[in-house]
Structures are given as C-alpha cells and as structure tokens.
Amino acid sequence: MRDRNKDGQYRQKRADTKVGNIEAKYGVDFGVRSDMELGTLRKRLGDKSLTQILKDQNK
C-alpha cells in the first residue's frame, strides 16, 4: 500500500493538508469542516500523530 512506510506507519503529512483530503483518502469522518488544516486538528486532539488519530477513528 502506498500510503504507509515499510514499517506500517503512515507517511508524514504536511500540517497544511486539508482534513477533507485526508477524510476522502482514508475513508473516515472527523466531524469537522473539510477545509480545516491537519495541524489545527492535531492541536485540537492533543497533538496526536495522524497515525494515532486514524487508529482512534477506527475503534
């Protein structure tokens, strides 16, 4: 799968990536505006990594 590194971790995303793009790519819904930036979402969620945010969504 191209979205992960060889060790299984998601590749780093830029902080200015739009949340809507991430939601579409990974098939999740964070319940926020799609034009929010990833950096803002991470701050709201306690500076978690994208990998941890996605794991939390899949629970």
Of the two residues 59 and 30, the one the predictor is more confident about is: 30
In the predicted structure, residue 29 carries a pLDDT above the cut 60: yes
Count of the separate structural domains present in the chain: 1
User: What is the reported pLDDT for 1?
Assistant: 39
The average pLDDT across 28-41 equals 94
Q: pLDDT tier at 9 (50, 70, 90 boundaries)?
A: low
30 in any annotated domain: yes
37 in any annotated domain: yes
Q: Which structural domain range is residue 41 located in?
A: 19-57
CA end-to-end span of the chain: 21
Tokens standing for residue 46: 């306690």
3 in any annotated domain: no
38 in any annotated domain: yes
41 in any annotated domain: yes
In the predicted structure, residue 10 carries a pLDDT above the cut 90: no
Of the two residues 51 and 32, the one the predictor is more confident about is: 32
